[in-house]
Amino acid sequence: MNTEETLFDMDETPIDSLIVLSNKLEAKEHGLCLDADELKALMTEIQQLQSYCGQLEAEQFEQEKEIERYQNWVNDLQSGMYINCVYCGHQYGPREDTPVSMSQVLKEHIEQCPEHPLSTAKQRIIDLENTVCFLRDELMNQLKHSF
């Protein structure tokens, strides 16, 4: 038996050697022939990728917490003040019937405000949709009369 075929390396625990042997057998079953150095390099790369994924997950968690903190901060800042629509001047203020999140109140107002540019865009979309329907109907009528 040559040194490459020995089951246990003196520096490895029996568990480590069993894992290495298992990996070699699995690789052979899938038609992969990796020598010990290639297998070790592959395992190292997998461990580095797992570590990097863990770091990314931790960063994502921290960023989500920061976003939540900022959203709470904005809600706190807006809870005791008046919010004005810069387009129509409508004012929402800290009253008992006003929700705590003034940003949500403002969003809802923007969707309905006749002076906000969004209203103009919405109306333009409706007009264009009506024009498309009209033109489609006209085209269908012309096609029916031509046959």
Reported as a single tens digit per residue, the pLDDT across 86-119 is 888 887 776 655 555 677 778 888 888 989 999 8
Tokens describing residue 105? 């109140």
What DSSP element (H or E) covers 83?
Answer: strand 83-84
3-state secondary structure string across 9-31 = CCCCCHHHHHHHHHHHHHHHHCC
Tokens describing residue 66? 């920061």
Q: Residue 133 — pLDDT band, cuts 50, 70, 90?
A: very high
Using CA atoms, how far residue 4 sits from 9, 28, 42, in Å, is: 10, 15, 18
The model carries a pTM of 0.37
| Dist CA 29 CA 52 (whole Å) | 29
Handedness of CA 42, 47, 52, 57 (dihedral sign): positive
Structural domain boundaries of the chain? 8-79
Q: Which range, 32-36, 63-67, 101-105, is most confident?
A: 63-67
Question: Are the C-beta atoms of 96 and 105 separated by less than 8 Å?
Answer: no
Residue 52 has pLDDT above 50, yes or no: yes
Using CA atoms, how far residue 103 sits from 64, 71, 77, 82, 98, in Å, is: 19, 10, 10, 11, 11
| Dist CA 105 CA 73 (whole Å) | 16
